[in-house]
Amino acid sequence: MDGSRRETGGAFVRLPLVLAFLFFAGSLIGWGIELVWRRFFSSNNPERKWINPGFLIGPYLPLYGFSLTILCLMSFIPVERIFPTLDVHLQKAILFAVMSLVITAIEYIAGLIFIKGMKVKLWDYSSCWGNIQGIICPKYTFFWWILSAVYYFLIHPEVLDWLYWLSENLSFSFFVGMFYGVFIIDLCYSMQILVKIRKFASENEIVVRIENFKESIRKKNEELEEKKHFLLTFKSESLNFREQLSEHLRKTREEMKNSNFK
């Protein structure tokens, strides 16, 4: 009895470190998925260039980190007890549907916070059918359903033992801690940029689409034959940050004006 309690208590103590690693792994994997998607499949990148996704400098997307953590926790839901009379395949389908809806809800809340609070739109699904405020849409909810199934069947059974083993090693704890140190520094730096964008957007009563803004900086740097920055996507050698925003706003209004004449 005492041994069982100690084992349960040890697993409980290790759980925060395991979840911390899942957030770390999900953020990295999500960044890789978005990088490949934008390079080869996105219609918003017709030139097929490598684009650093997200608003952070480093190779991580926190939304995917939260999502992987949630998938891990929700995988323990005993659907066979909640729906004992249903077929096992239907039980799993319902679980994956709930997973995808929860992640979609988090995606909506996160998108809304950035739009209302920071005056920026980190992603835009306005062109997708059934979208809500361009933040979420059925297409990407379905993708989350598929990713939930992939995680549950292919990753969850294998990854837990590995994660618990790693969490018991001091070197692994140091590695995770080092990631969060770099992540927090990056987050503070990027939030300073978002504060500047928010001030400019509030003054001009607009919402800045962050991917369009980064694209305008990249094109302006190409026009000026400046060095391209894959990670420091907001950097320009010739224009200061406010000038970059003003140039982006001017071009955006020109494009809107031209589209209205067509």
Q: Give per-residue pLDDT as tens, 82-121.
A: 988 889 999 999 999 999 999 999 999 999 999 999 999 9
The token pair at 126 is: 């306005």
- Give the whole-angstrom CA distance, residue 226 versus residue 221: 5
- Give the whole-angstrom CA distance, residue 153 versus residue 157: 7
- Give the whole-angstrom CA distance, residue 211 versus residue 232: 13
Nearest partner of 131 among 110, 104, 113, judged by Cα: 104
The dihedrals phi and psi of 104, each to the nearest 5 degrees, come to: -60, -40
The DSSP 8-state label assigned to residue 122 in this structure reads S
At 63-84, the pLDDT tens digits run 999 999 999 899 989 998 998 8
Nearest partner of 32 among 57, 66, 61, judged by Cα: 61
- In sequence order, what are the residues at sequence separation of 6 or more whose Cβ sits closer than 8 angstroms to the Cβ of residue 76? none
Say what the alpha-carbon torsion angle 185, 191, 192, 194 is, to the nearest 10 degrees: 150
Question: For the range 6-15, what are the long-range contacts, defined as Cβ-Cβ under 8 Å and sequence gap of 24 or more?
Answer: 11/164, 14/164, 14/167, 14/168
- Give the whole-angstrom CA distance, residue 210 versus residue 124: 9
pTM score of the predicted model: 0.85
| Mean pLDDT score of the chain | 83
At 180-226, the pLDDT tens digits run 999 999 999 999 999 999 999 999 989 999 888 888 877 777 776 65
